[in-house]
């Protein structure tokens, strides 16, 4: 089994650096050994400028986190932007509370996800959903909200981008979930955390509870196409230091 999946950096992890000098930051990620990036915003640049920059430094734009509201407001334009950049996947990164299971906009959101997915497929892209820990709150029948979402929408319309940190914070087992969604999880967010004074503190991969030794092989076995390293906050070390440390940890697996 090939354990050497390509690894992308979620640009949100280095958002301040990218905002200050996008191309320099992308070059630094490429120099570290990252194979691609997952975008989170365009930093005032056009799709062509982003694509050309990534081409110059040798990174693939594998995916982008795009709020569902952007799709709802300008579906055709939004899809075309990420198609032009060259993304294979686009991810809904979060849902506001009224869109959660049982919320006032839940059914509307489900319907819109199907419409968005159809438009993405026409452009040669796949729609995925990135979880946090709230999706592991229980539904009325005792299951997890995340599973209710994927049971309601077909795998053709919505793939999963499991964030293994939030799976574990939510009280579930990351390896179990990778196995559960085998064949439906092309992108896997590898993120780590510790618990300090009852709070979740994000740390470099390998320094926390997630267990990279177990989850990386499980991601490979699940059929994942890419691993994506994300660290939203950096209590210990700088963003660039942590992204390099995380990548070195993953590359050892």
CA count, 13 A, side-chain hemisphere, 154: 6
pLDDT class of 82 with cuts at 50, 70, 90: very high
Give the separation between CA 146 and CA 170, rounded to whole angstroms: 11
Provide the whole-model pTM: 0.96
pLDDT class of 43 with cuts at 50, 70, 90: very high
**Region 223-235 average pLDDT:** 98
CA distances for 187 relative to 46, 89, 96, 181, angstroms:
25, 9, 22, 11
Q: Write down the residue that tokens 């906009």 correspond to.
A: 105
Q: Got the DSSP string for 154-203?
A: -TTT-EEEEEHHHHHHTTS-HHHHHHHTTTT-SEEEE-EEEEETTEEEEE
Q: CB pairs under 8 A, 24+ apart, for 22-25? A: 22/53, 23/53, 23/56, 23/57
Average pLDDT, the chain: 97
pLDDT class of 3 with cuts at 50, 70, 90: low
Whether the pLDDT of residue 153 is over 70: the answer is yes
Q: Which residues contact 23 (CB under 8 A, 6 or more apart)?
A: 53, 56, 57
pLDDT digits (tens, 9 = 90+) for 165-203: 999 999 999 999 999 999 999 999 999 999 999 999 999
**Region 31-52 average pLDDT:** 98
**How high is the pLDDT of residue 252?**
84
Give the separation between CA 250 and CA 179, rounded to whole angstroms: 19
Whether the pLDDT of residue 217 is over 80: the answer is yes
Which percentage of the chain shows pLDDT scores above 90? 97
Give the separation between CA 62 and CA 224, rounded to whole angstroms: 13
Cβ pair 90, 80 in contact under 8 A = no
pLDDT digits (tens, 9 = 90+) for 53-70: 999 999 999 999 999 999
Distance from chain centroid for Cα 130: 5
Whether the pLDDT of residue 241 is over 70: the answer is yes
């Amino acid at each position: 089994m090939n354990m050497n999946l390509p690894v992308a950096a979620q640009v949100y992890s280095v958002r301040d650096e990218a905002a200050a000098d996008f191309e320099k930051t992308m070059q630094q990620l490429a120099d570290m050994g990252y194979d691609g990036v997952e975008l989170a915003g365009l930093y005032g640049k056009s799709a062509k400028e982003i694509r050309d920059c990534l081409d110059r430094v040798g990174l693939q734009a594998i995916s982008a986190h795009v709020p569902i509201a952007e799709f709802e407001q300008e579906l055709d334009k939004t899809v075309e932007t990420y198609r032009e950049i060259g993304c294979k996947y686009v991810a809904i990164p979060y849902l506001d509370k009224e869109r959660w299971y049982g919320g006032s906009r839940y059914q509307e959101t489900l319907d819109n996800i199907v419409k968005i997915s159809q438009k993405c497929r026409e452009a040669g892209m796949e729609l995925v959903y990135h979880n946090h820990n709230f999706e592991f709150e229980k539904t009325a029948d005792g299951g997890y909200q995340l599973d209710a979402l994927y049971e309601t929408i077909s795998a053709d319309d919505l793939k999963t981008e499991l964030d293994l940190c939030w799976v574990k914070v939510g009280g579930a087992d990351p390896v179990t979930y990778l196995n559960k969604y085998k064949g439906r999880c092309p992108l896997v967010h590898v993120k780590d955390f510790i618990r300090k004074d009852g709070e979740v503190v994000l740390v470099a991969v390998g320094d926390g509870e997630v267990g990279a030794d177990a989850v990386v092989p499980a991601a490979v076995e699940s059929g994942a196409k890419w691993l994506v390293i994300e660290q939203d906050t950096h209590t210990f070390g700088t963003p660039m230091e942590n992204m390099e440390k995380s990548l070195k940890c993953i590359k050892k697996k």
